[in-house]
Amino acid sequence: MAQEIERKFLVKDDSYKQEAYAQSHIVQGYICSARGKTVRVRIRDAKGYLTIKGASNESGTSRYEWEKEISLQEAEELMKLCEPGVIDKTRYLVKSGEHTFEVDEFYGENEGLVVAEVELNSEDESFKKPHFIEKEVTGDVRYYNSFLMKNPYSRW
């Protein structure tokens, strides 16, 4: 099984935009957004992806993840099967030490929310936090995209 190990943080300013070496537009929906088992359809720029995620461990740091690239046409068709609500965001990639932080700036009903994630090889792996990182929200389900789809940031 593929294991995803990541930590998630709120972002305090927009300096990450100047430091980003790449960015992409992401629109995603969920065929299933049940807690502990999600099936996501994502369109990232002109590519499609189907992702299945399992339940997080107790700390919220690690969970099963399977992802497969699919055609843009397949992704567009699968989006029609998704639950109500959509996640719309721009993802910025920012290097910090040996790691890359994925900084997501959300739009629509999640406008104003900016979250950074870093993927790790182990839960206790050390990493250099960029200066724009604020509070850690790893394991806080309110910041899961599948939760934001149903309970947008603007309604908190």
What's the rounded Cα separation, in Å, for the pair 88 and 57? 27
Interatomic CA distance for residues 121 and 83, integer angstroms: 32
Active site residue 30: yes
Whole-angstrom Cα distance, residue 103 to residue 78?
A: 26
Amino acid type, 79? M
Question: ∠30-46-133 over CA atoms, to 5°?
Answer: 65
Spot the catalytic one: 16, 21, 30, 144.
Answer: 30
Q: Which residues are catalytic?
A: 30
